[in-house]
Amino acid sequence: MESERRLTRAESDRQSGAVSSPVTVRQARVEDAEGFRRLLVGFTGYADKVPWDDYLARYSARVDDPTWCLIVAEDQSGELIGYAVAQDFTPNLRATFTVGRVDDLWVDPERRRGGTGRALMEAVFDWARSRPQPMVLDWQSTPEAVAFYEAMGFEADRVGDQAEYPAFCLDLRTR
């Protein structure tokens, strides 16, 4: 992934039809810990139940671990408005590829429909493409986000016990 990518107003408007301010999508840094936690709590309220010291230790370790991808989107004022988290589980002993998982993609509801979610996912895809082995990257969607992933060209896999939370996959083994 490029260390920082700016989503311009024209690009954002073209992607979504909405008018928005430019955002910067970049890798998370240790100094983003507080703002990142605010976003986590926005995504799932129980995230604030993790004691701060435990959270900070986990967050700091993941920021520096190349098998983790922590991406943030910030507005012109430097406020974090969205994030994505993915993990590379590394190849098992019988495979020539690795499996990754997108754990979270979340944009502040007041900042949606401006291309930020798409830019965050593209940054995760860039990270997946940069891994040492080809990756099969998968994730599960909330019912509200299915149309977003389908608009990006992915097909929902509704087979399984939670069809309302379909799976999506980016298979990079053919690169």
Check residue 20 and give its pLDDT: 56
| pLDDT tops 80 at residue 62 | yes
Token pair for 64: 């520096």
Whole-number Å distance between alpha carbons of 110 and 3: 26
How does the average pLDDT of the chain come out, rounded?
85
Beta bridge partners of 83: 72, 106
Check residue 175 and give its pLDDT: 55
Check residue 106 and give its pLDDT: 93
For the segment 38-57, what is each residue's pLDDT rounded down to a tens digit?
998 888 878 888 999 999 99
Write the single-letter amino acid at 51: P
For the segment 82-134, what is each residue's pLDDT rounded down to a tens digit?
999 999 998 788 888 888 999 999 999 888 888 999 999 999 999 999 988 88
Q: Residue 33 class from Cβ within 10 Å (0-12 exposed, 13-18 middle, 19+ buried)? A: middle
Provide the number of structural domains found in the chain.
1
Tell me the CATH number at 107: 3.40.630.30
Check residue 13 and give its pLDDT: 45
| pLDDT tops 80 at residue 28 | yes
Domain limits at 161?
Answer: 4-171
Q: Residue 113 class from Cβ within 10 Å (0-12 exposed, 13-18 middle, 19+ buried)? A: middle
- Do the strands 98-107 and 135-140 form a parallel or antiparallel pair, or are they unpaired? parallel
Percent of the chain with pLDDT over 70: 87
In sequence order, what DSSP letters do the residues of 81-145 get, joined into one string?
EEEEEEEE----TT-SSEEEEEEEEEE-GGG-SSSHHHHHHHHHHHHHHHSSS-EEEEEE--GGG
Check residue 1 and give its pLDDT: 43
pLDDT band at 138 (very low <50, low <70, confident <90, very high): confident
